[in-house]
Structure 1
Amino acid sequence: MVWVAASASDLSGLGLLTWVYPPGLVDRVVAACGRSEQRRRLLPARLVVYFVLGLALFSPAPYLEVMRHLVAGLRGLGLLGKWHVPAKSSLFRARQRLGFEPLQVLFAATAKPMANESTPGAFWRGLRLLAVDGTCWDVADTEANQAAFGRPGNGRGTRRSAFVQVRMAALVEVGSHAVLDAELAGCRTGEVTLVGRLPRSCDAGQLVLADRGFLGVPLWRAFTATGADLLWRVPANRVLPIRKLLRDGSWLSDIHAGTDPAKRDLVQVRVLA
């Protein structure tokens, strides 16, 4: 999946989305998810998929404006006939009928590395550069979202945020910013838990970057088991003793799980200061 940043005025219509997500693929995904229409609608499922993608890519724009821009090119070519932009309430209902499953399946079918050897920042010494990280964002304050995702609060649980929040962890190609895999959950689910599901999309020939919050034996082993190489930051207070000093100033050390020296689960790492 390709993420594009632009304003609503830059939206070039269905052409861009159909180039990235061909209509035939969208139709197959819709059918596989059981969302095909039983009768002819003003908003067929294929158009609703493109509409929801437009909402995600151009989130500041309201529903009707996104739909108008999506079909502007078709209207200019005289291909819309008597079709007209439906009322906002119809767009709400169409989005509810579609559900999230077709978008989830479409993402899984199209998420892949986009960079090549000439893409700036995409490779290092023949290894494709990937990165993992997490983020949170606010979602609509509804009872369904509250039940599914919850609200962040303080450590004592005496105060809750005004907003329902979703947490996401993603595996991203550095050179293209393409999202190759993602996991979503409620805001109370930790980033490490979500990132632990992303090794399924890693392989040999990749160098996976991660921030200091992810360093730990189970997660490290899960990623290295895929054949990928890792380059992860270390918290400032983490002590990594020198087991063997190397000629370039780096050294071999180990990270471990557990506090009992006799039962520590050790993993050897190379430390770059």
Structure 2
Amino acid sequence: MPRPGQVKAADEGLSDRLAIGLLVHAFPPDLVDHVVAECGRAERRSRLLPARAVVYFVLAMCLFSRQSYAQVARLVAEGLAWAGQGSRPWPVPTTAAICRARARLGPEPLAALFAEVASPASPARPSRRARPTPTTTGTEGERYRQWRLLAIDGTSVGVPDSVENRARYGPPPATAAGRPAFAQVHVVALAECGTHAITRAALGRSSHPGHTLTRELLGAVAQGDLLLADHRFTGIELIPAACASGADLLWGIGPWPLPVRAALPDGSYLCDLVTDGTHRPRTDPPVVRVIEAARDATGLADRLVTTVLDHEAAPSHGLAALYRRRWEIEASLDTLGALRRGAPHVLRSRWPEGVEQELWGHLLIHHTIRSLLHSASRP
């Protein structure tokens, strides 16, 4: 169906075919077939829209987000033929046929494809299983001394107001004017600093109650990582769980009062994290280091906590400056319209599985763009 802002495309040219060819290069057909089969979505009979073509359609739908289903389908058909994936373009299916094909595919193959290509290239994370090698692999991110820098950030994306979407994601929030807005799906992402490549993501109804989406990402960090995060997407109640991963933390925690245990020469201090954010006392409080960092010209303090207790190994001024790098991940998300915080963009899908399928497609496009930019910037 037509969407706000949708435009009629001009005649497709070489640049559009190159874009489809890039998707084929970034996500080779063998890899796409592999994740489709692993997710149990392989066809039992011949179809006009086989699962592989639907995966490429979803990716193209996210890349050409202002064009209609029919226009995107024609681009995919001609682009796949131009890229050598077929002797000639297949007939363009109807919008209803595309919707049915998307529903058959579901979000799982797109999520599995993201997991395959977005895993960071770290010796501590060996390949999970034998599989075709993707051409867009994770890249080595920025480092601070002995740590690899990762950051958590998040955004909210508008979804069509349907009964199914309301049931999954809740009612639309009220705007400042009191008028109803679109329902919101939340995306919390773990990204490498430096490359800004997202290595893991969690999708769901809300990022705040219990910080359940952030908790899903903690399994992707390990010893040797330094995780940067803000209190909007983390809470001090998550610090013990994050510490259990073996990673070190540098988190902004907001105005929580923390008692001084021992002052350090660089102006930071050690304290026992005696509450979990609800002021309930802990029986085994972890020891953290607190850094009061001036945030802006008004002198407002940004209270940071870190599990790096050695002030000589990581001075407070260095960590305070390092924490500001976290905002680069937000800027990276803003490069993709659908993930931009506060953007008017609304996804197409009127059912939750389609919403998640579409979001994984946008995350795959984001990963491809970041990988290309990082490769182009290397000498």
TM-score (norm 2): 0.60
Q: 1:20 aligns with which of 20, 26, 32?
A: 26
CA distance in 2, matches of 1:190, 1:58: 34
What SS does structure 1 have at the residue aligned with 2:222? Answer: coil
Q: Would you say the 8 A contact 1:30–1:102 is kept in 2?
A: yes
Q: Which letter maps to 2:110?
A: L
Structure 2 residue corresponding to 1:165, chosen from 181, 184, 191: 184
RMSD: 2.8
Write the letter of the residue equivalent to 1:45: A
Identity, in percent, stands at 45
Of the three residues 83, 97, 106, the one matched with 2:104 is 97
Higher strand share: 1
Q: What is the identity, as a one-letter code, of the residue corresponding to 1:249? A: G
Alpha-carbon offset, residue 72 of structure 1? 3.8
Partner in structure 2 of residue 41 of structure 1: 47
Q: What amino acid sits opposite 2:257 in the alignment?
A: V
| SS at 1:203 equivalent | coil
Given the alignment of the two structures, is residue 219 of structure 1 paired with residue 214 of structure 2, yes or no?
Answer: no
Between the aligned partners of 2:273 and 2:197, the Cα distance in structure 1 is 31
Deviates more, 1:127-136 or 1:52-61: 52-61
Residues 216, 256 of structure 1: 8 Å contact kept: no
- Code of the residue aligned with 1:230 in structure 2: it is L
Question: Which residue identity is paired with 1:62?
Answer: S
Q: Is the CA contact 2:77–2:90 (under 8 Å) kept in the aligned structure 1?
A: no
Q: What count of residue pairs does the alignment treat as equivalent?
A: 256
Structure 1: gaps (5+ residues): 1-7
| Corresponding position of 2:326 | none
CA distance in 2 between counterparts of 1:19 and 1:77 reads: 9
Q: Give the match for residue 4 of structure 1.
A: none
Q: Distance in 2 between the 1:186 and 1:18 partners?
A: 32
2:257 equivalent to 1:239? yes
The one of the two structures with greater contact order (alpha-carbon pairs below 8 A, sep at least 6) is 2
Alignment map for 1:131-142 (pairs within 5 Å): 131-142=151-162
Return closer, same or farther for 1:184/1:144 CA change in 2, 3 Å cut-off.
same
Deviations 1:94-136 (A, max 9, x none): 11221112222222233212232xx6xx221132211112322
CA–CA distance in structure 1, aligned partners of residues 207 and 144 of structure 2: 36
> CA 1:97 to 1:189, structure 2 compared with 1: closer, same or farther past 3 Å?
farther
Matched to 2:190, the amino acid is: L
* Distance of 2:83 and 2:289 partners within structure 1: 60
Task: Say which SS state the counterpart of residue 24 (structure 1) adopts.
Answer: helix
The answer to whether 1:184 aligns with 2:203 is yes
Q: Does the residue aligned with 1:93 lie in a helix, a strand or coil?
A: helix
Q: Check conservation: 2:80, 2:89, Cα contact below 8 A.
A: no
The answer on whether the counterparts of 2:208 and 2:233 sit within 8 Å (CA) in structure 1 is no
Q: For 1:272 and 1:61, how far apart are their aligned partners in 2?
A: 49
- The residue type paired with residue 106 of structure 1 is L
Q: Which of 107, 110, 113 matches 2:114?
A: 107
Which residue does 1:67 correspond to in 2?
73
Q: Amino acid of the residue matched to residue 96 of structure 2?
A: S
CA contact (8 A) 2:166 2:172 kept: no
Q: Aligned-pair distance for 1:255?
A: 2.4
Give the TM-score, by structure 1 length: 0.81
Distance (Å, rounded) in 1 between the aligned partners of 2:207 and 2:225: 30
Deviates more, 1:54-63 or 1:34-43: 54-63
Equivalents in 2 of 1:77, 1:188: separation in Å? 40
Deviates more, 1:61-70 or 1:125-134: 61-70
- Distance in 2, matches of 1:260 and 1:29, equals 45
- Give the Cα separation in 1 of the matches to 2:201 and 2:61: 19
